[in-house]
Amino acid sequence: MAEAVFYTKEGLENLKKELDQLVKVERPKISQQIAEARDKGDLSENAEYDAAKEAQGLLELKISKLQDLIINARIIDESKMDTSKVLLMSRVTIENNANKKQMTYLIVPEKEADLKLGKISVTSPIAKGLLGRTVGEQVEIEIPAGKVIFNIVEINR
C-alpha cells in the first residue's frame, strides 16, 4: 500500500477534477485517434497509430497514478490546527530582519505549492525553517541566496 499523502479539501478536489478530465475527455479523444489511425490501413508502418498507442499508454499511467493518489489521500482538518506554532496549513507572516519587509505564506503539502498564491511547500527551505516555531521567534534560514533572518510576526489558520 502506498503512503498516505495529506491534502487540503481544495487540493483533493483539484486532483479529482483532473482525473475526471483525463477519464471523460482525454481517454475518449485518444481512443478516437487510435480508431482513425487504424482505419488508415497497415498498422506495421502506421506512425499515427504508434503515436496514438504511446499517448494512450502514457495517459493510462497518469490516470493510474492519480487514482492511487486519491485513494491514499488524507484531508487535513484545519479546524483542529494549533495556531501557537507553525505547522502544515499555518498561514505565517514573517518579517525579513534586513529590509523589514513582511511576507505571508500558507504552508501546504508539496503538491499544492503555488508561490504566486502565497502557498509554499512544507519541504521548502523557508517552511522547514519555520516549522515548530512560535510568534516572536527569530529564525535563521538558509535559502539559495544565502542566510536570512526572519522574525515570526503572526500565525493563523
pLDDT of 75: 82
- One-letter identity of residue 31: S
**Domain spans, the chain:** 5-75, 78-156
pLDDT in tens, 4-26: 677 778 888 999 999 999 999 99
Cα 85 to chain center, whole Å? 23
pLDDT of 3: 66
Nearest to 66 by CA among 20, 109, 122, 114: 20
Q: What mean pLDDT is reported for the chain? A: 87
As a residue count, the chain comes to 157
The architecture that CATH gives domain 78-156 is Roll (3.10)
The helix or strand, by DSSP H or E, that contains position 106, with its residue range, turns out to be: strand 102-108
Q: Identical fold at 5-75 and 78-156?
A: no
Q: What are phi and psi of 81, to 5 degrees?
A: -75, 140
Per-residue pLDDT for 1 more than 60? no
CATH topology (fold) of 5-75? Helix Hairpins (1.10.287)
From residue 150, alpha-carbon distances to 85, 103, 107, 127 in Å are 15, 10, 16, 12
Residue 150, classified by CB atoms within 10 Å of its CB into exposed (0-12), middle (13-18) or buried (19+), is: buried
Per-residue pLDDT for 30 more than 70? yes
